[in-house]
Amino acid sequence: MTLDGKITTRSFSPVDFTSREDKKHLLRQRSLGDAVLIGRSTLTHDNVRLGLPDPKMRAEREARGQTPWPLRVIVSNEGRIDPALNIFQTDFSKIVIFSTTRMPRKYQVALREKATLRLSVSEHVDLTRMLQQLQSEYGVRRVACEGGAELFRGLLELQLIDQLNLTIAPYIFGGKGAPTLTGSGTRFLPASVRCSLEEMVVRGEECFVTYRLRYR
């Protein structure tokens, strides 16, 4: 995020304001997860594959008893996920989509060829249940969530995040159109979340911080 807490621009462009070191840092965090989790909007805007290009990271995963690539998990209430996105053109690891029966039939048909659909008969995805299912049915113990803001906020409100890795980049965007870490809405969180600093590393002009979240 920028010094004023923005995670993207007001046009939701993919993040290009952090260093190569930060991109590597992201991949390292991703490589630790049994699953990597992403919201539909970030997937659409960034068009990421959620892979691990570095063979060393994949070898380290295997040495830890993990699959070479993390399970890829997409969350969407409406389910209008474009099957032409880059992620669906790769099959290095399984893709699971947690959505609802609001997903239009034509999307269901197209996406079933590329991913496992977990559709609940409700308006919204139940994130707590999703994590339970990931654990019990896919053996997932650690999830690396890559955002975006709306998904992060949803998890935070349910007290489902235990660690926050943040890179503070040397920019100030200003304005209120660009979302912050928890989005661009005006609603407060149900309660403020106390975070304890676990690690802080400065590389170049960026600051890499790791916080542990403590819910009261």
| Number of helices (H), then strands (E), in the chain | 6, 8
Coil vs helix vs strand at 212: strand
From the list 133, 104, 135, the residue with the least C-alpha distance to 118 is 133
Binding mask 158-197 for ligand NAP (x = CB under 6 A): ---------------------x---x--------------
Give the pair of three-digit tokens for residue 61.
């995963």
Q: How far is the CB of 28 from ligand NAP (least distance, A)?
A: 14
Interface with ligand NAP, residue 146, by CB under 6 A:
yes
Compute how many residues bind ligand NAP; rule: CB under 6 A: 29
Among 33, 51, 70, 147, binds ligand NAP (CB under 6 A): 147
Quick one: 60 or 82, whose CB is closer to ligand NAP?
Answer: 82
Restricting to residues 3-22, name those near ligand NAP by CB under 6 A: 7-8, 12, 14-15
Interface with ligand NAP, residue 39, by CB under 6 A:
yes
Q: Evaluate whether 95 touches 116 at the Cβ level (below 8 Å).
A: yes
Interface with ligand NAP, residue 34, by CB under 6 A:
no
Residue nearest to ligand NAP (CB): 39
Give the pair of three-digit tokens for residue 3.
């010094």
Quick one: 8 or 66, whose CB is closer to ligand NAP?
Answer: 8
Q: Please give the single-letter amino acid code of residue 21.
A: E
CA end-to-end distance (rounded Å), the chain = 26
Interface with ligand NAP, residue 33, by CB under 6 A:
no
Q: How far apart (Å, rounded) are the C-alpha atoms in residues 9 and 178?
A: 5
Restricting to residues 72-131, name those near ligand NAP by CB under 6 A: 75-78, 80, 124-125, 127
Burial zone of 155 (CB within 10 Å; 0-12 exposed, 13-18 middle, 19+ buried): buried
Q: How far apart (Å, rounded) are the C-alpha atoms in residues 115 and 76?
A: 14
**Residue 110 DSSP one-character state:** H
**Where on the chain is the footprint of ligand NAP (CB under 6 A)?**
1, 7-8, 12, 14-15, 39-42, 45-46, 75-78, 80, 124-125, 127, 146-151, 154, 179, 183
